[in-house]
Chains A and B, each alone.
Chain A
Amino acid sequence: MTAGELLPPDDMTLAAAGEALASRLPVRGGDVRPTRRSYYDTFDGLLYAAGRSLVHEDGHLELVERDSGAVLCRAAADRPAKPLFARELEPGPLRDTLADLAGARALLALVELRGRERRFDVLDDERKTVVRLALAEPAVNGHTHLRARLRITPVRGYDKELARVRATLEADLGFIAADQPLVDEAVRATGAVPGGVSPKVELALRGEQRADAAAVAVLRRLLEVMEANLEGAIADLDSEFLHDFRVSLRRSRSVQRELRRVFPPEPLQHFRAEFRWLQQVTGDSRDLDVYVLEFGDFRELVPEAMRSDLDPLLGVLEARRRDARLKMEKALRSERAVSLLGEWRSLLDGLEALDSAERPTAAQPIAEVAGARIRKVYRRMRKMGAEIGPDSPAEAYHELRKKGKELRYLLELFGAPLYPGEVVRPMIKTLKALQDVLGRHQDREVQRATLHALAAEVARRRDGTGAVMAMGALVGRLAEDEQAARLQFAERFAAFAAKDQRRLVRDTFA
């Protein structure tokens, strides 16, 4: 149900509906005019999830509350011709609100409605507009015609009048509340699903389910996310397509490894190698995406007087990013990549029917198999972490972090749906805190190496000498931060490996 939109009685034409409401409500206006109304959201539906719609009409972008139709903020803007980022808007409340809602994600055109519309202002006895009505006969992207509907836009501070207008429309004129907002109906008419494509897995698994069936369910969903994000990653609509693609890829690899005994060894080995290749060919692009996106943070790390000296470095990073993306596109469009995902799907589709002689844990209950893995990886991490001290090589931290990712995926993909939330949630939280420190340590290590590797190229650019000197200052700050992460490690690891946490793991995942 949506409070902001009503449907006229079944057989009522636009003209008749207009006459009907003009006869019962004190209105002004009502001329028929052409309309063009476009809706936008991020690929993963962040605005939808927040109960908002972004609409462009009549030279303005408006952020609208989905349910009530109330306009929350608006700004004059041209109709976006390409993916729109909040940061590209003029400063003001609309930009701020969209930046909070969408972050780094691009706002993409969802659907465009064109058609005829009659707009009415409902007036009070001072002839002040207290409710706005728009009666429209929209067509999706200019062809699929949808049923006529009445959009109600409240005017702030006139709630009682709004309630009276609704009562008249529904009780006296036979309008009924629409069961879904127009934008959702329009999105469905294009064959898409309202709410966008989430990268989340969120499956309902049962503990007694066969391990291979559960693995297939999870891996199929991950494959879906990869496929859904692939084109956006190649087209570089925003940085999150590639990121979500790679996270799902890494999670898939983790399941391949942790639940390897539900697969026949031969094809699994092939897919593991191919997935590793896919991860590699997308790695440089992602790394460089992050460097460019977070360049502002680098700038903040060096003394203020040196900040603009870093600009040539950004130029080099951007150039490298372009090269990396070209290489990545070539790899992702290759026969090898295209057939890989298809063959992987075939394997998943046929897995449960395969002979289980070579798949020792395939028929075991998933809770048992996943629980054993969680216990084991946790124990392994405890051992690895116990051996790490402030002077350990960076490699030791990195190896622990990689194990930590395994554990995190196991907990998120299987722990969360199969085991009590009051155990799994805090465990993920403690693990995340540990991973944050390990991640920071690793990032700083890699960033320092990257800066060293880029120094010669930056030096050849205009103003390159100043840039290299600023990079030197930056490397110093990164090394300090890496050291700080090492010092934080002991505390975070102690919480992760604490005695009661160990007991909880032993008891829960037994």
Chain B
Amino acid sequence: MSVVLATYNIKGGVGKTSAAVNLSYLAAGAGAPTLLWDLDPQGAATYLFRVRPKVRGGARKLVGLQSEVEGLIKGTDHPGLDLLPADFSYRHMDLALDGFKKPTRRLHRVLEPLEDEYEFIFLDCPPSISLVSESVFEAADALLVPIVPATLSARTFAQLEAVVGRGPQVLAFFSMVDGRKRLHRAVMEELRAARANVLDAAIPTSTDVERMGLERDVVAAFAPRASPATAAYAELWAEITARLHRGGV
């Protein structure tokens, strides 16, 4: 049985794709067969792995279970890490899902044939509240939620928890953190104290993370081991796996 982890936030530009790509790389690197499904029609994760953003039959056939999902998967340059690419048709995935009975079960059913093959399946989700995100909540064992420390963080997080409801385990972590800003430090301290599911590991604002788009690879593959971003993702992954065991997923 795969553990399904979705990087999700209602807001865009908070480091979802960076987290999905780097964490899935770390999972695979530790020896666990891992799949990343790039659900975002913008296809940033797909671009980073240098794969063509094209899925035969598009979103409709895929969520209609008419495509054989095994045949759509691409191996990345990293052993043990595969990608189910993005496709521009994913922008209409809501419509595609809406045409089916129990639409929110569809993503789960797409992944069913892969459960024996992968230990971890990451879903990189588009920022929105939609039928797609509801399907993601049904399919995922845990949501990994990047939060940018700002005055409204707590509010955004509360909204998100309301949307998720009694769905998957929610694990939040701070992203794009500038340790020099007092405000960042204060917000983090406050939210961590108030919420048990806000993790200690945090991803700093880093040129290495920004360089990913240029290098078209995961941070650990081009940045030195000592890079703060590399270390931060490793800490984050260790904390997530520890929490997953405790959470019983």
Contact = CB atoms under 8 A, between A and B. Distances in A.
B79 interface: yes
Interface in B42-58: 49-52
B124 interface: no
Contact of A93 (B30, B33, B77): B33
Given A128-B77, A156-B74, A157-B71, 8 more contacts: A60-B79, A73-B33, A75-B32, A96-B116, A126-B50, A128-B51, A157-B74, A158-B75
Residue from A75, A96, A157 having most chain B Cβ neighbours under 10 A: A157
Given A74-B31, A93-B119, A158 B50 contact: no
Given A128-B51, A156-B73, A71 B79 contact: yes
Contacts of B74: 155-158
A74 B116 CA distance: 13
17 contacts: A71-B79, A74-B33, A75-B31, A76-B30, A76-B31, A92-B31, A92-B119, A93-B116, A93-B117, A96-B116, A126-B50, A126-B52, A127-B216, A128-B50, A155-B75, A157-B71, A158-B75
B184 to A, nearest CB: 36
Interface string B57-87: 0000000000000011111010110100000
B237 interface: no
A124 B50 CA distance: 9
Nearest to A92: B119
B118 interface: yes
Residue from B32, B49, B52, B72 having most chain A Cβ neighbours under 10 A: B32
Interface residues of B, number: 22
A74 B50 contact: no
Interface in B15-56: 30-33, 49-52
Interface string A156-172: 11100000000000000
A121 B78 CA distance: 12
A156 B116 contact: no
Contacts of A60: 31, 79
Interface string A71-90: 10111110000000000001
A92 B80 CA distance: 12
A74 B31 CA distance: 7
A68 interface: no
B31 A156 contact: no
Contacts of B82: 156-157
Nearest to A70: B75
Given A93-B118, A93-B119, A156-B74, A128 B31 contact: no
B118 A157 contact: no
A90 B118 CA distance: 14
A127 B79 contact: no
A96 B117 CA distance: 10
A129 interface: yes
Contact of A121 (B30, B49, B77): B77
Given A127-B50, A128-B50, A90 B31 contact: yes
A219 to B, nearest CB: 44
Interface string B104-139: 000000000000111100000000000000000000
Interface in A153-206: 155-158
A73 B119 CA distance: 11
Contacts of B117: 73, 93
A126 B30 CA distance: 27
Contacts of A155: 74-75
Contacts of A75: 31-32
A128 B118 contact: no
B79 A74 contact: yes
Interface in B148-177: none
A356 to B, nearest CB: 60
Interface string A93-127: 10010000000000000000000000001001011
Nearest to A159: B71
Nearest to B116: A93
B115 to A, nearest CB: 10
Given A74-B79, A156-B73, A128 B49 contact: yes
Contacts of B116: 93, 96
Nearest to A74: B80
B38 to A, nearest CB: 14
Residue from B31, B52, B71, B77 having most chain A Cβ neighbours under 10 A: B31
A160 to B, nearest CB: 12
A84 to B, nearest CB: 15
Would you list the 8 A-B pairs with minimal beta carbon distance, nearest first?
A76-B31, A128-B50, A157-B74, A156-B75, A155-B75, A75-B31, A126-B50, A129-B77
Contacts of A77: 31
A92 B73 contact: no
A127 B217 CA distance: 11
Interface string A332-372: 00000000000000000000000000000000000000000
A159 to B, nearest CB: 10
B77 to A, nearest CB: 5
Contacts of B71: 157
Contacts of A93: 33, 116-119
B70 to A, nearest CB: 9
Contacts of A157: 71-75, 82
Residue from B33, B51, B71 having most chain A Cβ neighbours under 10 A: B33
Contacts of B30: 76
Contacts of B216: 126-127
A293 B71 CA distance: 40
B202 to A, nearest CB: 27
B156 to A, nearest CB: 35
Nearest to A91: B119
Contacts of B31: 60, 74-77, 90, 92
A155 B51 CA distance: 12
Contacts of B32: 75, 92
Contacts of A76: 30-31
B234 to A, nearest CB: 15
A92 B52 CA distance: 29
A407 to B, nearest CB: 40
A139 to B, nearest CB: 25
Contacts of B73: 156-157
B120 to A, nearest CB: 10
Contacts of A121: 77
